[in-house]
Structure 1
Amino acid sequence: MSSDTTQTPDYRDTVFLPETEFPMRAGLPQREPDWLARWEKIGVYDRLREKKAPDGGKRPPFVLHDGPPYANGHLHIGHALNKVLKDMVVRSQQMMGHDSRYVPGWDCHGLPIEWKIEEQYRAKGLNKDEVDTVAFRQECRAFAAGWIDVQREEFKRLGVTGKWDAPYLTMDYHAEAVIAGEFMKFLMNGTLYQGSKPVMWSPVEKTALAEAEVEYHDHTSHTIWVPFKVIDGGLPGAQAMIWTTTPWTIPQNRAVAFNPTIEYGLYEVTGRPDESNVVVGATYLLADKLAGGVFAAAKLAEGMYRRLRAVSAEELGALTLAHPFRGIEGANGEWDYDVPMLPGDHVTDDAGTGFVHTAPSHGDDDYQMGVKFGLPMTWNVEADGSYRADLPIFGGQAILTPEGKEGPANVSVIKQLAYAGALFAKGKLKHSYPHSWRSKAPLIYRNTPQWFVAIDRTLDDGMTTYGDTIRKRALTSINQLVQWTPATGRNRLHSMIEARPDWVLSRQRAWGVPLTCFVKKGARPDAPDFLLRNPEVNARIVAAFEAEGADVWYVQGFKERVLEGIVNPSDYEQVMDVLDVWFDSGSTHAFVLRDRPDGAEDGIADLYLEGTDQHRGWFHSSMLQACGTKGRAPYRGVLTHGFTLDEKGMKMSKSLGNTVAPQAVIDEYGADILRLWVAQSDYTVDLRIGKEILKGVADSYRRLRNTLRFILGALKDFDPAERLPVDEMPELERWVLHRLAGLDTVVREGYAKYDFQGVFTELFTFATSDLSAFYFDIRKDALYCDRPDSLRRRASRTVLDLLFQRLTTWLAPILVFTMEEVWLCRSPGEGSSVHLVDFPETPATWRDEALAAKWDGVRAARRVVTGALEVQRTAKVIGASLEAAPVVHVADTAILAALKSLDFAETCITSGLQLTGDDAPQEAFRLPDVPGVGVVFERAPGEKCLRCWQILPDVGTHKHPGTCKRCNEALG
């Protein structure tokens, strides 16, 4: 019996395969909390504040001022988008050399929290109005504090860096003192006044609302056509027709408006259907363009009416009308006043009748007409949305119920108009209508005494650089002082500021900073001494708030405490309204940017960053507030992002079941995948998110992770002594360095303009296409099989080290956890962190445009070779490209020379390759987009090297069996 003892040599242990502890599977949901704990332990954020510039001096500050979220619930995906964007700004600015500060904050006062406490009261059968105000406010404070703790941990879990151990809260005593102080600046500069004018009013919440608290939804309204009889001024017997979608406002009518530029006519009814109540022979005033539609609403066909003649603006302006309820039974003369016909530019002939029913207490255009022509205001509607109890016929009837549903008022008015013979037609209309963004209930315009800031009143405060009124300063700031991202944000805020009315500051609620002012008893609001303006009183209030918080305003005897010795307390009444919560958040620049040591040296933020809805919210209120107290905008830059939608582009809602909770994404994928979704999205428009989108994001992440894993593995045991100077490197490595130099500019410019999508796209393409699919593919052979001291291997490892330094830092603002993991694989020190370093400086001398142009041609020719080999691989002629030694025909002599100047076989990962300028034969493989290059497949001659797998003629002729010359030498 005999046996063959000949064995094939096994060279696996002699090959330098990548080795790394960096796992292919990320396990982010389980591992990210450990990195969070580590950052907290080593104090990354505070250590960054101590960091100096390269020259030892102070780093230039960059301050992103946090728009405060509301402390009343778990985070939604919009919160996550917002905070991640902020974090990417803060981190990238820090790594570009700034002292990049981020103080997170919370909005704590206001209706949402008060509403929650009231809900708890209602559930217990308690009445809020019977509870002591201070006790109620303390419950609100505790509620907000509880949610702040919850949200803080949820924000931190997203990997957001910031001063989490000392955030700002609008309910902190110092904040409340500053808010009061900022309010009193308006008191002292003369812009604060008490006015009676219609404001958006929520009968459900029993308070005025700011524009930012209003959202629009479809709503079905009653529509009525109502004739007002002419009683004086000509056109006897005629009736001016109005149309309205708010029948409940008819009892408050004080005028009818027309537009002198519209063509009007006098129309007579000549016939009617049997079921119609319209009087044949009746005459109506109508805009000519709208007359047909009006008669159609009353079921009058053409031929049942005729135009008698044109009516001029002069004739209309001379008319006096009667209210449709004039002289009706039970009215006790309530509506027996004259109704003037008045000209108004707001009247159009786009819809309606060409005449507008005017109730100055219930609409802004109506109010302006009232001011202009001295129309009386009415006080018929109570805070709960019902008519005053003593209003004839309609007393006590609700326009809207406490639940936000329609009350009986509209139908009662319609019926009364019918009884009075003043209902020409009626119908229903579905249209966009204002609702409260909290209770979701419809709103009404209601005339109430409120406190306003006049935005067009001249300010005598010495801050006239950018204008002498709040509006002028705001518009100048928008146009000259602020950088808008995207640029369209400028137009949006500009148009809002340009057209907005005075700012309503007061709310009839309990949880907020009070309007810290006193009014003289018996004085008219327009009297010079109506408001107490006394610096010493103001100082006492601020000091009390600083020490005891705003609750002290509601403590018995506080008025006497701050007025005693200055004025007679019994001469003044204390205002008990609270400030609009937007004034709170609009004032944050004062107690954060101005007052905190980690604020902004000049009290102006480099960036405000919020959703696009904040053009009417925080951007807006901060602008108005600061223009009144600082003389300019409190920010140099504003970035706005869109809303989050589901994968189909639908708005998210719990009822549709299409919401995506940040915590659910984190639990399944990890926070870095959520952050990568933000970076891959165009935040300037609405962003979609869902299961399929997140799967795509996770796939991108895996591809990028594999690139980084290769770098780490190939750099095992890298010794800085291996490094090669650039001028000794092969062209391929110098091409990579050229790409890095270009990317350095792209990354810095991209981060500077907050183009995270652009930055990530460039880096991802580079990592997966230029590196994994090209450079790594080519250099694997040298890295695995060359001698450790070979020039190719040293050059490649030098470049890999430079790649590591740049990719980890460039991507760190986006993938905060993953880049920390990558960094610690090579810098595992106890206090080490990628987030403590800056982007490395990349020499401009690495750029080599001529070399890049050459390698563009090389890569194009390589694609033709790769395509030709893929045909053979698909046909199962070969299994790997190393089995080939193709003939490459190149028509262009310059490209041919370029390819001959390097090892093109190595570039194409073939064992051999022949270059020729001969014409390519008919059967050669070609690519349409690479003219002049043809490839003819040939098998590589020789045997397969058992170590590097190249097929070469010299394999088997060396000392070490089954090796090529290169591998034989590597084995020694």
Structure 2
Amino acid sequence: MTDTTDYPDYKDTLTLPQTEFPMRAGLPAREPEWLARWERLGVYDRLRASAEGRKPFILHDGPPYANGHLHIGHALNKVLKDFITRSQQMLGRDARYVPGWDCHGLPIEWKIEEQYRAAGLDKDKVGIVDFRQECRRFAEGWIDIQREEFKRLGITGKWDDPYLTMDYHAEAVIADEFMKLLMNGSLYQGSKPVMWSPVEKTALAEAEVEYHEHTSHTIWVKFPVADYGPQASDLSISGKKMGVSVVIWTTTPWTIPQNRAVCFGPDIEYGLYEVSELLDGAKEDLGAQVILADALAESALSAAKVNATRLRTVSAEELAALTLAHPFRSVQGATGEWDFDVPMLPGDHVTDEAGTGFVHTAPSHGDDDYQIGLRHGLPMTYNVLEDGSYRADLPLFGGEVIVKPDGKEGGANVAVIKQLAYAGALFAKGKLRHSYPHSWRSKAPLIYRNTAQWFAAIDKPLEDGMGTHGDTIRARALESIDQLVKWTPQTGRNRLYSMIEARPDWVLSRQRAWGVPLTCFVKTGAKPDDEGFLLRDAAVNARIKAAFEEHGADIWYTDGFKDRMLDGLHDPGAYTQVFDVLDVWFDSGSTHAFVLRDRDDGAPDGIADLYLEGTDQHRGWFHSSMLQACATKGRAPYHGVLTHGFTLDEKGMKMSKSLGNTIAPQAVIDEYGADILRLWVAQSDYTADLRIGKEILKGVADSYRRLRNTLRFLLGNLDGFNDAERVNPADMPELEQWVLHRLAELDIEVRKGYAAYDFQGVFQKLFTFATTDLSAFYFDIRKDALYCDAQGSQRRRAARTVLDTLFHRLTTWLAPILVFTMEDVWLSRFPCEDASVHLQDFPDTPADWLNMPLAQKWAGVRQARRVVTAALEIQRRDKVIGASLEAAPVVHVRDEQVMAALKSLDFADICITSDISLTADPIPAEAFRLPEVQGIGVIFERAEGQKCQRCWKISPDVGTHSHPGTCARCNSALG
């Protein structure tokens, strides 16, 4: 080897990458600069202007509630929406996104009440308009906070003009949408049991209910037979000793005073049992006779701590003939309150899976019970007040509380159990741990309570002339689900369909203050079934809507409002004003009207292309929007529905403050930056529940760094590139043409993936391409040409042309996901004052870049290269060589087509070796092989010659040129 100590240093003659794009992203500190820049440039509005004439794409924002900082679920939801809005825009649509907020309702009202209680103030002594203004100010404060938190995530949208359900126009439209129910005949007032919160003193919608483990009292209660009837005369004889009782089982002892019937299952086998033995602790009488379902007799008798003998079968006909006495009949102090007969009624809802096979029926406190009551004319009771206490004049139990204001159990259950024991009706008692409904706001237990509420009838034919998709709300909703809406994933269709198929009428009213009132008047002194009970007058409705437009819904609560609305049209004294407020789900369900229909940036047909929320919204916003629009518009307000899962910790546990496993979006942003949080979303399968935690985020950050390294290579090697350098694809080397082919393939896959909202698929394809096809293959091979070839060489120009093509596609394809990083990359190359990657569309890709024969050829080349690089890696690991350029391997190739492909190329360049030999000779036994690549073996040989001091390739001609220590290529490049 020649002594190289006197050779010139050729480093400055290389064309090395030049870029100021840092490897360390510094996202937490730098992202706010880009946010400010986008706001200064007005990027969102500029896109609207430039997209005029394009087909709109409307993702309608499901409004978050304005009452607290964002959690990770908010971030997931808004980032997914942003992926869609940005990608649809770059696919060539006019993708408008109007963020919104849900502002009315109990959570805000509850917060204001808490503030009042803390200050020792009485809410009831504050004027309702003043109280509502307090609620409005509270919502405004949180909207401002949440808006900045959403913007910090890089979410694009009309942030300077969002929609708010408490805006005057929104309140006017919500009222108007309600009045359409008034006019089309679906609105009615009914007295029926609804899910009720004693703590919050209001009815709740199904979407406001969550289920938690709860310990309930369980009791087995004897209802004595008062009359056997002729069909059961034999039963009276067999029970003449002490009389016979039917035993029921319930987990709500407080409902016993409201009992009006007992139901049995016509197909269940029942028996008459006589207590034959008292076990330790038994309270029952020896010889007592009870009727039980045979399948449940053993568990009931065990609970009572007795043994019993089965005397005979009791038929359904005999049961139907029985008349029972209420357990509190003739009890001292009952003053005749329960001295009535209790009928035995057949019920399809009765099973022998738990209890006794008999169901205690209180029509005022359960939906099944209510339906039975309707069929058989059972009376309703009004014993339970809005605070969950019994009416004061109820004998024995007056004033007892079911659920206390703090959400804990009151004394009602125990009081009833004690009276049952005193009356000799308590067969057994116990405790049961089970899933029980709670308010999702106060977390307190709920009860079913009969109360006068306003409902939308979902099975009543509507008087609106919009019967294209059905004549009832339910029929329209079911047809919309089946025929008009695309569901992603399809399971969402099944879930919502089954919910709407089985749901009862919609409870619209709430007994609260902060919301849009039920803008209707009822005839004073009339009953709900009376003719003319509801005032239905379009002129009155128009006045109400106009007043709300000008003054907001608060005007409803001002003195003299009713008189002004009815003046000259009706006698104000003949009507009573309703002061309940609407269910907030009606508010959010109406957003299609005041956002999609009424805004200039809404949907042309008032129907969104997409609603996107979590799976819980099948019973929430998807559901209420469907019902509301079907009632007032005649069909669903959306063409598509996309649902995502919930966020879990790394162990798959549900996040909760009590477990300490929550992750705040701001904490992730502070440590990593918002782009890492966005990348976590892109790398996850959002159709299932998503896990997030420190280790997961570290993995996401590592993927980000690898991708950033690829982009930095592009920028560094495009320094100074201009159109004069550009090479036509037909004049490029095969390797460059292969890259263009891959881009053409990716263009199809990326567009298809974004259109299908498959962000995980899009990112994985791009990430694999960037790290495997580019960094580990194409860049690895072409570094030599980019750094060492003469700047004007065809090969280098072709490579730079491809890098420019890669730059424009990777930055735009990834821009919807990594909004900050792609802006950084774009501005690093195009530092123009008004430039932004987010003003670009995805570039069109020529179809003729697709070249399947070339792709198949290069698939074989890459397989052969894998064997060579794996063989050389062993030599490097064993320190035989320090770099692949020290090798000149012999490659044995069995397949003729592969041999022809390799010979048509400079395979040494492809393998990054100084030389290579190709042979069709049989593969020697000692040759290196890869099991998965058949027909190729590699024998290691060292390269012969000296190392070029400029490119480091080893060649026999080094030292024979005018520039000392160079190879022919480098000597030529130096001129």
Instruction: Choose from 626, 630, 644 the match for 1:627.
Output: 630
Instruction: Choose from 734, 743, 749 the match for 1:731.
Output: 734
Question: How far apart are residue 6 of structure 1 and its match?
Answer: 7.2
Instruction: Choose from 752, 758, 761 the match for 2:761.
Output: 758
Instruction: Choose from 267, 272, 278 the match for 1:272.
Output: 278
- Comparing 925-934 with 230-239, greater Cα deviation is found at 230-239
Could you tell me which amino acid in structure 2 is paired with residue 217 of structure 1? H
Instruction: Choose from 490, 494, 517 the match for 2:493.
Output: 490
- Structure 2 partner of 1:289: 295
Deviations 1:220-264 (A, max 9, x none): 000011111111123332211110000000000000001111111
Question: How far apart are residue 898 of structure 1 and its match?
Answer: 1.3
Deviations 1:65-94 (A, max 9, x none): 000011111111111111110001000000
Instruction: Choose from 67, 75, 78 the match for 1:83.
Output: 78
Q: 2:808 aligned with 1:805, yes or no?
A: yes
* In 1, Cα distance between equivalents of 2:386 and 2:169: 33
3-state SS in 2 of match to 1:289: helix
- Comparing 623-632 with 291-300, greater Cα deviation is found at 291-300
Identity %: 78
- Structure 1 partner of 2:257: 251
Q: TM-score, normalised by structure 1?
A: 0.98
- Structure 1 partner of 2:15: 16
Q: 2:376 aligned with 1:373, yes or no?
A: yes
Deviations 1:264-287 (A, max 9, x none): 121222112143122222221111
* In 2, Cα distance between equivalents of 1:436 and 1:904: 70
Q: 2:190 aligned with 1:195, yes or no?
A: yes
- Structure 1 partner of 2:642: 639
- Structure 1 partner of 2:157: 162
Aligned CA RMSD, in angstroms, stands at 1.0
* In 1, Cα distance between equivalents of 2:529 and 2:843: 64
Q: 2:527 aligned with 1:528, yes or no?
A: no
* In 2, Cα distance between equivalents of 1:790 and 1:238: 106
Could you tell me which amino acid in structure 2 is paired with residue 598 of structure 1? D
* In 1, Cα distance between equivalents of 2:305 and 2:873: 76
Question: How far apart are residue 315 of structure 1 and its match?
Answer: 1.2
Could you tell me which amino acid in structure 1 is paired with residue 837 of structure 2? V
- Structure 2 partner of 1:924: 927
Deviations 1:788-817 (A, max 9, x none): 121211111111111001000000000000
Could you tell me which amino acid in structure 1 is paired with residue 195 of structure 2? M
Deviations 1:723-773 (A, max 9, x none): 111111111111111111111111111101111001000000000011000
* In 2, Cα distance between equivalents of 1:776 and 1:446: 71
Q: 2:461 aligned with 1:458, yes or no?
A: yes
- Structure 2 partner of 1:140: 135
Equivalence map 1:514-553=2 (5 Å): 514-553=517-556
Could you tell me which amino acid in structure 2 is paired with residue 487 of structure 1? Q
Equivalence map 1:699-718=2 (5 Å): 699-718=702-721
* In 2, Cα distance between equivalents of 1:16 and 1:308: 103
* In 1, Cα distance between equivalents of 2:183 and 2:530: 15
- Structure 2 partner of 1:103: 98
- Structure 2 partner of 1:47: 46
- Structure 1 partner of 2:917: 914
Could you tell me which amino acid in structure 2 is paired with residue 63 of structure 1? I
Could you tell me which amino acid in structure 2 is paired with residue 115 of structure 1? W
Instruction: Choose from 243, 247, 254 the match for 1:241.
Output: 247
Question: How far apart are residue 699 of structure 1 and its match?
Answer: 0.5
* In 1, Cα distance between equivalents of 2:37 and 2:575: 58
What runs of 5+ residues in structure 2 fail to find an aligned partner?
237-242
* In 1, Cα distance between equivalents of 2:508 and 2:756: 35
Q: 2:684 aligned with 1:685, yes or no?
A: no
Q: 2:224 aligned with 1:229, yes or no?
A: yes
Equivalence map 1:945-964=2 (5 Å): 945-964=948-967
Instruction: Choose from 283, 294, 317 the match for 2:320.
Output: 317
Instruction: Choose from 128, 141, 151 the match for 2:146.
Output: 151
Could you tell me which amino acid in structure 2 is paired with residue 240 of structure 1? V
- Structure 2 partner of 1:31: 30
Instruction: Choose from 820, 824, 828 the match for 2:827.
Output: 824
Question: How far apart are residue 464 of structure 1 and its match?
Answer: 0.8
* In 1, Cα distance between equivalents of 2:226 and 2:20: 94
* In 2, Cα distance between equivalents of 1:19 and 1:849: 35
- Structure 1 partner of 2:585: 582
Could you tell me which amino acid in structure 2 is paired with residue 285 of structure 1? I
* In 1, Cα distance between equivalents of 2:846 and 2:310: 84
- Structure 2 partner of 1:181: 176
3-state SS in 2 of match to 1:926: strand
* In 1, Cα distance between equivalents of 2:546 and 2:95: 32
3-state SS in 2 of match to 1:876: coil
Question: How far apart are residue 306 of structure 1 and its match?
Answer: 2.0
3-state SS in 1 of match to 2:76: helix
* In 2, Cα distance between equivalents of 1:919 and 1:269: 94
What runs of 5+ residues in structure 1 fail to find an aligned partner?
none
* In 1, Cα distance between equivalents of 2:328 and 2:734: 94
Change in 2 beyond 3 A, CA 1:104/1:5: closer
3-state SS in 2 of match to 1:935: strand
* In 1, Cα distance between equivalents of 2:265 and 2:531: 38
* In 2, Cα distance between equivalents of 1:454 and 1:901: 77
Q: Which runs of 4+ in 1 moved over 6 A?
A: none
3-state SS in 1 of match to 2:217: strand
Question: How far apart are residue 7 of structure 1 and its match?
Answer: 2.5
Question: How far apart are residue 460 of structure 1 and its match?
Answer: 2.0
Does the aligned pair in 1 maintain the 2:281–2:305 contact within 8 Å?
A: no
Instruction: Choose from 740, 745, 749 the match for 1:742.
Output: 745
- Structure 1 partner of 2:654: 651
Could you tell me which amino acid in structure 1 is paired with residue 741 of structure 2? H
* In 1, Cα distance between equivalents of 2:310 and 2:848: 85
3-state SS in 2 of match to 1:290: helix
Does the aligned pair in 1 maintain the 2:4–2:965 contact within 8 Å?
A: no
* In 2, Cα distance between equivalents of 1:907 and 1:594: 59
Could you tell me which amino acid in structure 2 is paired with residue 272 of structure 1? L
Does the aligned pair in 2 maintain the 1:51–1:59 contact within 8 Å?
A: no
* In 1, Cα distance between equivalents of 2:275 and 2:576: 59
Change in 2 beyond 3 A, CA 1:955/1:659: same
* In 1, Cα distance between equivalents of 2:415 and 2:629: 47
3-state SS in 1 of match to 2:806: helix
Question: How far apart are residue 457 of structure 1 and its match?
Answer: 0.3
Could you tell me which amino acid in structure 2 is paired with residue 745 of structure 1? I
* In 2, Cα distance between equivalents of 1:327 and 1:913: 108
- Structure 2 partner of 1:129: 124
Deviations 1:933-960 (A, max 9, x none): 1111000000000000001111111010
Does the aligned pair in 1 maintain the 2:280–2:305 contact within 8 Å?
A: no
Q: 2:792 aligned with 1:786, yes or no?
A: no
Deviations 1:370-418 (A, max 9, x none): 1111100000101111111000011000001000000011111111111
- Structure 2 partner of 1:206: 201
* In 2, Cα distance between equivalents of 1:162 and 1:313: 65
3-state SS in 1 of match to 2:872: helix
Deviations 1:113-162 (A, max 9, x none): 00000000000111111110000000000110011111111111100000
* In 2, Cα distance between equivalents of 1:601 and 1:484: 21
- Structure 2 partner of 1:262: 268
* In 2, Cα distance between equivalents of 1:379 and 1:294: 31
3-state SS in 1 of match to 2:518: coil
- Comparing 205-214 with 886-895, greater Cα deviation is found at 886-895
Does the aligned pair in 1 maintain the 2:786–2:799 contact within 8 Å?
A: yes
Instruction: Choose from 310, 328, 332 the match for 1:329.
Output: 332
Deviations 1:643-693 (A, max 9, x none): 111111111111221111111111111110110011111111111111111
- Structure 2 partner of 1:342: 345
* In 2, Cα distance between equivalents of 1:444 and 1:482: 36
Could you tell me which amino acid in structure 1 is paired with residue 585 of structure 2? W
Does the aligned pair in 2 maintain the 1:223–1:246 contact within 8 Å?
A: yes
